[in-house]
Amino acid sequence: MAERRIVKSAELKAGEHTLIELGELLAGTQIKGSLKDVMHDKFLYTIVDEKNYRRFMETEEEVDEDDEELLVIAEGDGLGHYHVDTEVAEPGKYYLILESEAAALKRKIKIDLVIWKD
């Protein structure tokens, strides 16, 4: 797999999430780079495969019925800037999910990721 770079800005609306498709990735694929809010405001991020993205989108009732934990390959815990450095364990389609902690504030997130497989 050739190296691929994702460089873009994403609007993150208050109380909602934004989805960035990372594409079909093979086991052993590396994902490195940075995610940052232009105003250094706090936000959350998660990188998941397709199955876990569907679970992420479940309602609270559906989550209560499902006793499995959401499996993520990388996540951020509320900072305004992250350095991403992770490896894909299972092949499949992957997604970057961005979320705002504050329901009243809109965010603009700069994404700069490099994806490659040796």
Average pLDDT, the chain: 85
pTM: predicted TM-score of the whole model, two decimal places: 0.83
Give burial (CB, 10 Å; 0-12/13-18/19+) of 14. Answer: exposed
Confidence check: pLDDT of 72 > 90 = no
Give the residue-averaged pLDDT of 65-76.
71
- Is 92:24 a contact under the CB 8 Å cutoff? yes
Confidence check: pLDDT of 30 > 90 = yes
Please check whether the domain covering 4-116 is classified as CATH 2.60.120.380. yes
Per-residue pLDDT at 33? 96
Confidence check: pLDDT of 57 > 60 = yes
Buried b (16+ CB within 10 A) or exposed e, 50-76: eebbebbeeeeeeeeeeeeeeeebbeb
Give the residue-averaged pLDDT of 99-116.
84
